[in-house]
Structure 1
Amino acid sequence: MLDLQKLMGQMQGMSEQLQREAQQLTAKLDRAQLLWQQASLQQDLLCQASYQWRDRFSFNAAVPVERMEQVQAIAPISHSHLVLATDGSQIAPSRHEIAYCYLINIGRVAITYNAGIYPLLDNRPEVFYKTEDLYKSRQWGIQTEQWMTLKRTVAETVALADLALEMRSPHLPTLAFSDGALIHWEFDEIPAEARSLLLTDILSAWDRLRSQDIPLAGYISAPRAAEITNFLRLAICPFEQPDCQSHCNQKPLDHAPCSQIQPLRDGTLWNRLLKVGECSPLWRSQARILQEYGEHQIYFCYLHVGTEIARVEMPAWTALNPNLRSQALQIILAQVQKGYGYPVALAEAHNQAVVTGSDRRRFFAILEQQMVKSGLRNITTSYKESRKRSSIA
Structure 2
Amino acid sequence: MTLEFKELTKKVEEMGATLAARDQALHEKAGLARARLRQAASQVDDLRAKLDAIRAAGVEWRGAAPSDEPPDAVHPLPPAPTQATLIAADGSQIFPDPHGLALYYLINVGSIVYRHGSGQAPDCYTMPTLYYRDEELFSEDGQLIRPRRIESYRDLAEIERLALLTKHTHNTPTITLTDGPLLLYGHVGPADRDTFEEDLARYLAQLTALQGNGVIAAGYVDRPRSPWVVSLLDLVGWDLPQPLPQRLGWREFQGLDDEALFKGLLQPGERSALFIAESAVNQRYAQSGHGIYFFYLNVSAVSLQPKIARVEVPEWVVRQPGAMDCLHALLYHQCRVIDGYPYVLARAHELAVVTPEDKRQLEAMLRHVLLRHRLPADVSNKARTKGLVRFSGRRHGR
Under a length normalisation based on structure 2, what TM-score does the superposition of the two structures give?
A: 0.89
Distance 1:286 1:174 in 2: 27
How far the C-alpha of 1:135 sits from its partner, in A, is 0.4
The Cα offsets for residues 304-329 of structure 1, whole Å up to 9 and x where unpaired, read as 11151110000111122231222122
- What secondary structure does 2:218 align onto? strand
Aligned twin of 2:148? 146
CA contact (8 A) 1:107 1:350 kept: yes
Matched residue count: 380
- Amino acid of the residue matched to residue 387 of structure 2? R
- Counterpart AA for 2:146: T
1:67-96: per-residue Cα shift (whole Å, max 9, x none)?
Answer: 123221123625122111111111111111
1:172 partner amino acid: T
Write the distance in 2 (CA, Å) between the matches of 1:77 and 1:138: 53
Q: Distance in 2 between matches of 1:372 and 1:142?
A: 25
| Residue 339 of structure 2: aligned partner | 340
Per-residue CA distance 1:26-67 (angstroms, 9 max, x = gap): 221122122222222212111121122234545312111111
Cα deviation, residue 192, structure 1: 3.1
Q: Does 1:269 align with 2:261?
A: yes
The structural deviation recorded for 1:341 is 1.0
Aligned to 2:275: 283
Name the SS for the 2:8 alignment partner: helix
Is 1:31 matched up with 2:23?
A: no
Distance 2:224 2:144 in 1: 27
Return the offset for 1:241: 5.2
Alignment partner, residue 92 of structure 1: 95
Q: Tell me, what secondary structure is at the counterpart of 2:379?
A: coil
**Counterparts of 1:115-134 in structure 2 under 5 Å?**
115-134=118-137
Distance in 2 of aligned mates of 1:138 and 1:327:
49
Query: Structure 1: which 5+ residue stretches go unaligned?
Result: none
The Cα shift of 1:142 comes to 7.7
Q: CA deviation at 1:188?
A: 5.4
Asked if structure 1 preserves the Cα contact closer than 8 Å seen for 2:81 and 2:326, the reply is no
> How far does residue 24 in structure 1 lie from its aligned partner after superposition?
1.3
Structure 2 residue ranges without an equivalent (≥5):
301-305, 394-398
User: What is the 5 A alignment of 1:3-18?
Assistant: 3-18=4-19
Q: Name the structure where helix makes up a greater proportion of residues.
A: 1
Q: 2:111 aligns with which of 98, 108, 113?
A: 108
**If the length of structure 1 is used for normalisation, what is the TM-score?**
0.91
- Name the structure 2 match of 1:297: 291
SS at match of 2:297: strand
1:357 corresponds in structure 2 to 356
Query: What code does the residue aligned with 1:262 have?
Result: Q
2:324 is matched with 325
Q: Is the 8 A contact 1:137 1:147 kept in 2?
A: no
Q: Does the aligned pair in 1 maintain the 2:186–2:196 contact within 8 Å?
A: no
Aligned residue for 2:333, secondary structure, equals helix
Q: Does 1:387 align with 2:385?
A: yes
Paired residue type of 1:354: V
CA change 1:137–1:69 in 2 (3 A) is farther
Q: Quote how far apart the aligned CAs of 1:345 are.
A: 0.5
Superposed, 1:237-252 pairs within 5 Å as 237-239=238-240, 243-245=244-246
For 1:386, give the aligned amino acid: R
What is the RMSD of the two structures over their aligned residues, measured on CA atoms? 2.1
1:136 partner SS: coil
Residue aligned with 1:300, SS: strand
Which has the larger displacement, 311-320 or 21-30? 21-30
